[in-house]
Amino acid sequence: MSTKQKRFILPEDEIPKFWYNIQADMKNKPMPPLNPKTKDPLKPEDLYPLFAKELCHQELDMENAWIEIPETVREYYKYWRSTPLVRAYGLEKALGTPAHIYFKNESVSPIGSHKLNSAIAQAYYCKEEGVSNITTETGAGQWGAALSYAAKVFGLEAAVYQVKISYNQKPYRRSIMQTFGAQVTPSPSMSTRAGKDILTKTPNHQGSLGTAISEAIELARTTPNCKYTLGSVLSHVTLHQTIIGLEAEKQMEMAGEYPDIVIGCFGGGSNFGGICFPFMRHTIKEGRPTRFIAAEPSSCPKLTRGKFEYDYADEAGYTPLLPMYTLGHNFAPANIHAGGLRFHGAGVIVSQLLKDGLMEAMDLPQLETFECGCLFAQSEGIIPAPESCHAIAAAVREAKKCIETGEEKVILFNLSGHGLIDMASYDQYFAGNLVNHELKDEDIEKNLDEIRNLQ
Ligand SMILES: *Cc1c(COP(=O)(O)O)cnc(C)c1O
């Protein structure tokens, strides 16, 4: 055995004290979100009814590159941070690649994914501002689980709308939310007008994140002292997730390397931005030639096949209009097992960065992601979340290219979560019941036609 170091961990006092706001450093700022009625650019105050005030300001902050992490939030981060940066020697050997593969292991958080980085922060700001109830939507249940725990930490009541297909596919995530004291409702439900409308049109609707967002927003609007929270897409969520990349930057230094390629799976962009933006700042400011790859499902390909348009983040059209790569808010993604990636749009920051060529996107078919997930489990001992399997599959593709070229590229990906509560999905894969969902151009065009000229 060699004495090569496997895991890199920061001591507690080296956990970053600031989040990184890439908006301050972007040459082309994201276009402004628009008020859906007046079409005027949104001001932070316009968002006050929905979100904690501090979060509204973080959302639209184009000036401050560094935002201090409140001390209380840092205290709770210590419950699982820093997360390990791991050199994937096992995966490298299994592939026979000369590439150096590293992953940042966000699966070690109490709820098993990166989502808690933002949940703790959002619940903290709500508590600070005297809020008593928070509500949200969840797909696979990762965000719902994170928010339920964060609500409990700060003594808030949490109500979670869970996408119906995930509610049924992943019963244990529901139990986890309930363990933390949250009230969980499958969405679409008859408890909101948005839910009723959808179920009247499509009684068998299996739900989507867009639908569940509409329901949670409606609850927040109609309940006193209740705020809405979102687990991805928005810029303040991605801001909180930059703790991942900021730690990774220090840890890569400990390893004596700097990544040539940084990869994150892509739902709304928060874990991707979280790991990439701290490295991308060196690309923007110093011209470092790093590639940033967003790994998305072929069945929900907003970055590779969507269009850059103003669109709503939810199915009912309650949210502001966001300038983003989108498949159209009426796009109903196939029932793939990576529930956290079944969202029609991308955050405004990543959308602008893609438009400006600072990042790239790769779409991956479901079967390839599970195949790579199993290879990763067998070679590194960690069963990845189906979402994270997309990042692994993208890393594997790049590592295989290095076999051909002989290059020792340094590849870093984010392991956004573990899959121990997703074993029903693995069962379906082993039983041969999973397929690759082919999307026809005309189906994508149909949804995009409906959103042209919304702004
Ligand atoms: C939610 C989730 C994702 C996708 O969300 P992003 O906002 O794109 O990060 C990825 N992986 C896991 C494990 C998740 O729970």
Chain centroid to CA 184: how far? 21
Q: Retrieve residue 446's tokens.
A: 């149909």
Position 2 scores a pLDDT of 58
From CA 131, how far away is CA 119, in angstroms rounded?
A: 15
Ligand 1 mean position, distance from CA 1 (Å)? 36
Q: Are strands 291-297 and 261-265 parallel, antiparallel or unpaired?
A: parallel
Domain ranges of the chain: 8-14+69-112+236-452
Position 131 scores a pLDDT of 98
Read off the pTM: 0.96
Position 316 scores a pLDDT of 81
Ligand 1 mean position, distance from CA 112 (Å)? 11
Ligand 1 mean position, distance from CA 4 (Å)? 31
Q: Is the CB of 302 under 6 A from ligand 1?
A: no
Ligand 1 atom closest to the Cα of residue 266 is 8
Ligand 1 mean position, distance from CA 75 (Å)? 24
Closest residue by CA, ligand 1 atom 13: 417
Task: Spell out the CATH class of 8-14+69-112+236-452.
Answer: alpha beta
**Cβ-contact 259, 411 below 8 angstroms:** yes
Q: Is the CB of 162 under 6 A from ligand 1?
A: no
Ligand 1 mean position, distance from CA 406 (Å)? 32
Distances (CA, A) of 252 to 22, 194, 246: 20, 46, 10
Pocket test for ligand 1, best of 105, 106, 136, 142 (most atoms within 8 A of CB): 142
Q: Is the CB of 265 under 6 A from ligand 1?
A: yes
Distances (CA, A) of 420 to 108, 163, 290, 338, 417: 12, 19, 32, 13, 9
From CA 24, how far away is CA 40, in angstroms rounded?
A: 22
Q: Is the CB of 156 under 6 A from ligand 1?
A: no
Ligand 1 atom closest to the Cα of residue 233 is 7
Pocket test for ligand 1, best of 149, 263, 341 (most atoms within 8 A of CB): 341
Q: Is the CB of 238 under 6 A from ligand 1?
A: no
Closest residue by CA, ligand 1 atom 8: 267
| Exposure b/e, 44-81, CB count within 10 A at least 16 = b | bebbeebbbbbbbbbbbbeeebebebbeebbebbeeeb
Distances (CA, A) of 189 to 72, 163, 243, 301: 36, 10, 35, 27
Grouped pLDDT means (10 residues each) for the chain, 455 residues? 86 98 98 93 95 97 98 98 98 98 98 98 98 94 96 98 89 95 97 95 89 93 95 96 99 98 98 98 98 97 97 87 95 83 94 98 98 98 98 98 98 98 94 93 89 80
From CA 204, how far away is CA 220, in angstroms rounded?
A: 26
Pocket test for ligand 1, best of 103, 106, 114, 300 (most atoms within 8 A of CB): 114
Ligand 1 mean position, distance from CA 271 (Å)? 6
**Cβ-contact 114, 132 below 8 angstroms:** no
Ligand 1 mean position, distance from CA 386 (Å)? 10
Q: Is the CB of 135 under 6 A from ligand 1?
A: no
Position 315 scores a pLDDT of 80
Ligand 1 atom closest to the Cα of residue 142 is 15
Of 276, 273, 272, 271, nearest to 290 by C-alpha is: 276
